[in-house]
Amino acid sequence: MRAIEFSRAVLSVAVATALVGGARANEIEEVTVTAQKRAESVQDVPIAISAFSGDALDSLGTSNLQELTEHIAGAELFDDRGAGQPTWVIRGVGLADFNSNNTPTAAIYYDEQYLPSNVMGGIGMFDIDRVEVLKGPQGGLYGRNTSGGAVRVVSARPELGGDANGYVSTSYGSWGRATLEAAAGASLGESSAFRISAMTEQGGGWQDSLATEKDDEYGDRDFSALRAQWLFAPSDGVELLLKLETGRDQSETTLGLTRALYDPNTGDFCASAWAGRADSSQCATLANLTNAWVLTPGDPGLLPSQQKADGSVVLSNPINALDNDWRGFNGQLNWDLGFATFTSISAYLAYQNNQVFDYDGQSLHLFHEDGRADLKSWSQEFRLVSNGDGDSNWLLGATVARDTIDELRLADLSDNWLVFPGMTKRGFNQDSKSWAVYGQWEQYLAEDWRLSSSLRYTSEDRALRNDYHYDTIGDFYYIQGVDKDYSLGANWSGHIGLDWKPSENALIYAKATKGFKSGGFFGGFAFSADELQAYGEETVWSYETGFKSDWLGRSLQLNGALYYYDYRDVQGFTQALSDTTGLPITRLGNLGDAEHKGAELEMVWLPQAVEGLSLQLGLAWLDVKISDSDTIALDPAGQAAPIEGRPRAFAPQWSTSAQLRYEFAVGADLNSALQLDYSWRDDLAPRDAFTSPLDYAAYGYDGYQVVNARLSLLPAGERWELALVGKNLTNEAYLATATGDDLGSFMQIPGRPRSWALEASYRWE
């Protein structure tokens, strides 16, 4: 089996070898990034970066940030509910948490503004200049919650001078899914300019619920967003950029496929579940047992075998939906002082996250939740960046931020007679305050050698207030008025590295970096105050060496990295038996220490042998295990086993992404382009990561591969474009995640089956 998996991982390399030839005149376009808070070529930055221009994002058909992980080897997406709470996991580093009061380990920066909650990552991606995915800890320049990396999203800016410019694009495809996106900008005299952009995405429901008699066509998108920017440059050395934005997401989210693990005769786990396999044809769900034993004696209700493996037909109630809205302000001032540039960034974002979700994935009301969170984030950053091309460069900065969350969740367990029926209400307030000072220094030791370093001090205090869990049927509190506090202990982070440029087109680097993710509080079900005890921060010491190179007249770009992580106090979910339900419950804590070893390779090639052909490849290998831990995990039957020595979920051993694009003329002034995109992940939740076969039957799932294609027609000037787009062409039945509700139900979130769309766009300038 490993031989088969390895052959899949190098499939893209084999295709490349068969197609490429010598060099050609065309060069790979230089990509400018601001990963180090200054504009540089991506090939000159000693960081493993996957960068995507706005045009590249359009060709990939990504309408939101989370879809981009499919095209980055070594990056995965965790979204426990299938939508609404996207969490990036880079190189296996990530807290797979579904609660809005926790931050991802790969921080998302949207136009230089840090987004403190994973739910904020659902903001739509439109009219984007570029996206930069920085792999590895970024504790020096970016600070808190970057133990896995950082994701930078940069919007297209207004342009001074010139004529009015903009674009409009639209699409229509499978299940009636339609999009409309537009942007327009112009100069307002010599010193100012504006840009307004908007998008909407509607329809696309592809699922049917057996809990209702009608064909639900469930899963419609209902997303709209608007952004307005004004650029003012009163002199050559001063510019002010102001941005206002708002949006709303009322989309129906993916319905889950329930997993059948129970023996319909005894109520215990069935034989196949004990052997490590969920069997819908032989085993029952909790809803079947509840129906047959309590609600309707002798009638098991809807059967799990009536579902379809691709998720198009499910038992889940058609209630999963978002009702999110947001509004924000961002003001950036850049002032050239001669010796350095002073930058001020003031940002505010208010985000209301409302989500209804059927946790049990069955036709009864075993666990339905209506969760509401009101998030507010304010931040101010000042920095001074040296100008000039001397032997040294430096940067000084300071930030202050405050984030608040007010959360309320209503749970409906009215049919859950085998555990406890009822309605519960829970909520809390969380307030986080932080400040930091940081600096970076680069010094050329010789013409080809450069020493780089960064150092950051961060202070953060987090307060949990008035946490409660109330039973509305029994009229009593499990917990009430719980207050907890947390203060960051890992205050120092940064890096030191050495770069060598043996030639103009090559860079070799080695560095040691410390990054961290702050601690916090569990935001889920709690039946005692002890379950809300703060968990501590995690730290990652990364030791990495890598290279970046251009070959064959800049027609071949080859970048690679090797790394080792000393990952300490890993944050994650632990289990304990609940005194209330008698079942294993999950809560957040520090699991112990882990080791991550990995290697990555990225290639871009423009071969001369086939005019108009370009090839991109990303390949990643990762070996992850819990190296030292006293944590004992419980499987669904309450059986205990140590986690030490086990690998982690969302850390596939192999992952690859590849793109083949062929451009050719179909007339004197008309061109066409065929683009194929391929993505494959090894097992995201491998069997040996689980403590028992039963645990794997409940939560395990395999890797997957996805093939997308795009055939476009455009004139020589590329003013307009028509395209036919196909996604998941092989109709792969794959899973986004597998989860449980801690009350005896288990389910999985399916990926979308094969789909088609027609796209049209027009640009003017």
Joined together, the tokens standing for residue 393 give 């460069």
Top mean-pLDDT range of 441-450, 517-526, 582-591: 441-450
**pLDDT: is 549 or 24 the higher one?**
549
Per-residue model confidence as pLDDT tens digits over 262-283: 999 999 999 999 999 999 999 9
Q: How many domains does the chain have?
A: 1
Mean pLDDT of the chain: 90
Residue 589 lies in a domain: yes
For residue 697, the cross-strand partners are none
Q: How confident is the model at residue 568 (pLDDT cuts 50, 70, 90)?
A: very high
Residue 271 lies in a domain: no
Task: Please give the span between the terminal C-alpha atoms of the chain, in angstroms, as a whole number.
Answer: 54
The C-alpha angle with vertex 209 and arms to 297 and 291, in degrees rounded to 5, equals 10
Percent of the chain whose predicted confidence (pLDDT) is above 90 = 73
Quote the pLDDT of residue 582: 66
Quote the pLDDT of residue 112: 94
Examine the pLDDT at 17 and tell me if it is beyond 70. no
Per-residue model confidence as pLDDT tens digits over 445-496: 988 999 999 999 999 999 999 999 999 988 999 999 999 999 999 899 999 9
For the chain, how big is the Rg over CA atoms in Å? 26
Decide if 536 contacts 519 (C-beta within 8 A): yes
Residue 193 lies in a domain: yes
Averaged pLDDT for residues 207-219 = 93
Examine the pLDDT at 12 and tell me if it is beyond 60. no
Averaged pLDDT for residues 534-547 = 96
Nearest to 604 by CA among 658, 642, 651: 658
Per-residue model confidence as pLDDT tens digits over 629-684: 998 888 888 888 999 999 988 899 999 999 999 999 998 889 999 999 999 999 88
CATH number at 18 reads 2.40.170.20
Q: How far is CA 748 from the centre of its chain?
A: 18
Residue 486 lies in a domain: yes
Averaged pLDDT for residues 706-719 = 92
Residue 278 lies in a domain: no
* Structural domain boundaries, residue 48: 2-256+311-764
Q: How confident is the model at residue 2 (pLDDT cuts 50, 70, 90)?
A: very low
Examine the pLDDT at 417 and tell me if it is beyond 90. no
The Cα–Cα gap between 311 and 265 comes to 27
Examine the pLDDT at 8 and tell me if it is beyond 90. no
Residue 305 lies in a domain: no
Residue 299 lies in a domain: no
Examine the pLDDT at 4 and tell me if it is beyond 60. no
Quote the pLDDT of residue 580: 65
SS3 479: strand
List strand residue ranges (DSSP E) for 668-731, in order. 670-681, 704-715, 720-727
Q: How confident is the model at residue 373 (pLDDT cuts 50, 70, 90)?
A: very high
Nearest to 349 by CA among 400, 407, 404: 404
Per-residue model confidence as pLDDT tens digits over 318-339: 999 999 999 999 999 999 999 9
Nearest to 88 by CA among 98, 75, 99, 74: 75
Total length of the chain: 765
Q: How confident is the model at residue 365 (pLDDT cuts 50, 70, 90)?
A: very high
Quote the pLDDT of residue 527: 85
Averaged pLDDT for residues 53-72 = 86
Q: How far is CA 467 from CA 288, 423, 484, in A?
A: 34, 17, 9
Residue 292 lies in a domain: no
Per-residue model confidence as pLDDT tens digits over 116-138: 988 887 777 899 999 999 999 99
